[in-house]
Amino acid sequence: MGFRKDFLWGGATAANQCEGGYNEGGRGLANVDVVPIGEDRFPVIAGKKKMFDFDDEHFYPAKEAIDMYHHWKEDIKLFAEMGFKTYRLSLGWSRIFPQGDETEPNEEGLKFYEDIFKECKKYGIEPLVTITHFDCPMHLVEKYGAWRSRELVGFYENLCNVIFNRYKGLVKYWLTFNEINMILHAPFMGAGLYFEEGDNVEQVKYQAAHHELVASAIATKIAHEVDPENQVGCMLAAGSYYPYTPKPEDVWAGRQEERENYFFIDVQSRGEYPAYALKEMARKGIKVKMEEGDKELLKAHTVDFISFSYYSSRVATTDPELLEQTAGNIFASVKNPYLEASEWGWQIDPLGLRITMNDLYDRYQKPLFIVENGLGAVDTPDENGYVEDDYRIDYLSKHVEAMRDAVDQDGVDLLGYTTWGCIDLVSAGTGEMKKRYGFIYVDRDNQGNGTLKRSKKKSFDWYKKVIATNGEDLSN
């Protein structure tokens, strides 16, 4: 009983939210650099706000972030001390291809990640690598319109050829696109997309999504060719929908919301556009342009496992305007009256994780990997940087328990669990430092002040014990 013997316990980060060093080592500028702190950080609306560079009025947290660019050795040592079996990180595309469309990669960027992977191996930590976590070189955004252009597929393919060959033997677990469904909800952050006046926004989004899906299949193909040991996963921003009432219309509304997200995973895991998506696109007049061979490619190179992030369940209804909404601009949904919420209004639902796991496992019958889960909270450190974060321990222990139930009681095949932001980092949704997820506190505030000193929170020792007992002892 319990988790598999080789269960991959660990933590997760993303390059743009922790590395900093935005102009070091020959790195090029990326979409994720030029979004300032604030709820309204993404220029989504046509013609409104277009941020292609820095300005003097705003603070850009990704520039320095928590400066992992210079602290990675110390940080990995702390992960090892907790007993991490895996560490999920992402590659900064513009470190390896500063412009994105070069033929030759930037050696300094490649070497940076190679050193990190070697350091992980030293401690027996298996790297889990997200090839792109929301980032796209700014040059590709400006010159090609990012993923709206088919040419991005080729540039991504170049990146994949380089990294799979270079990191062969060092990295085995790969994720192609972080939260691939985010392209619909936050297109600039998710895929570097922006819209001009007169654009058919839905058309552009689904065309870009198609390019990402093809790129993902190509990545899977190359990964398997270069090293049959490679395991490639898709990555979904998950969280099942509950109908607000038993009214059939509410149930139906939930089904439709889920399909919008499942669409991506259906293609990546089953290898074809699902019937409901084809019908929906036809109804909306969306015509996805495919090239010869695309369909065969998608069919032949499906993913090995399904990874996802889970923070909350969601609620669907036919008349959302009559009901209170949750906070958070990206995945706001109707408020569930039975659930508590975090300080940022994200509703807390451990059983929802078990439900989500069952939904995904029933649908795809492939191993699952939970690659993000956690509580964003305000931490108040004492003079030594120690944080008594019982609220975080409470959140995580309940979620681990629910995931254990999914494994033990329901028979879900789960490869591993990496908590989000195992070390405090910049929030993707708001750009704040104040919204912390870590077991490790980082002395830095929203304005960029602080010593960047790392210190252990109470949850550090808690997680260490959870890992040591393979999830048996969750007590605080």
Task: Give residues in contact with ligand P53 (CB under 6 A).
Answer: 14, 17, 178-179, 237, 309, 311, 330-331, 372, 376, 420, 427-430, 435
Fill in the amino acid letter for 304: D
Tell me the residue type at 81: E
Q: 318 is written with which tokens?
A: 């036919």
- Alpha carbon distance 14, 353 (integer Å): 22
Those residues whose C-beta lies under 8 Å from the C-beta of residue 197, and which sit 6 or more positions away, are: 46, 47
Residue placing its CB nearer to ligand P53 in the complex, 244 or 420? 420
- Residue 175, token pair as written in the block: 């994720």
Contact 218, 268 (CB under 8 A): no
DSSP annotation string for 72-125? HHHHHHHHHHHT-SEEEEE--HHHHSSSS--SS--HHHHHHHHHHHHHHHHTTP
**Closer CB to ligand P53, 302 or 427, in the complex:** 427
Yes or no: say if 7 and 470 are a contact pair by the CB < 8 Å rule: yes
Nearer to ligand P53 (CB atom), residue 100 or residue 190: 190
CB 98 within 8 A of CB 71: no
The residue among 297 and 428 lying less far from ligand P53, judged by its C-beta, is: 428
CB of 61 to ligand P53, least distance (A): 11
Shortest CB 222 distance to ligand P53, Å: 24
String of DSSP letters for 43-66: --STTT---SS--SSS--TTTTTT
Comparing CB distances to ligand P53, the nearer of 61 and 100 is: 61
- Measured from the CB of residue 429, what is the shortest distance to ligand P53 in angstroms? 3
Helix (H) or strand (E) segment spanning residue 242: strand 241-243
Helix (H) or strand (E) holding 349, with range, is none
254 or 431: CB nearest ligand P53: 431
Which active-site residues does the annotation give? Answer: 372
Contact assessment for residue 345 and residue 327, using Cβ atoms and an 8 Å cutoff:
yes
Question: Least distance in Å: CB of 341 to ligand P53?
Answer: 13
Radius of gyration of the chain (CA): 21
Compute the least distance from the CB of residue 86 to ligand P53, in Å: 16
Q: What are the structure tokens assigned to 46, written together?
A: 């046509």
Decide whether 290 or 330 has the Cβ nearer to ligand P53. Answer: 330
Min dist CB 73 to ligand P53, Å, is: 23
Residue whose token pair is 């922790």:
18
In whole angstroms, how close is the CB of 434 to ligand P53 at the nearest point? 11
**Toward ligand P53, which CB reaches closer, 179 or 258?**
179
| Cβ-proximal residue to ligand P53, closest one | 429
Task: For residue 375, count other CB atoms closer than 10 A to its CB.
Answer: 25
In the complex, least distance from residue 165 CB atom to ligand P53, rounded to whole angstroms: 27
CA angle 149, 331, 443 (to 5 degrees): 95
Tokens 């795809």 sit at which residue?
364
Distance (Å, rounded) from C-alpha 239 to C-alpha 143? 35
The pair phi, psi for residue 410, each rounded to 5°, is -105, -15
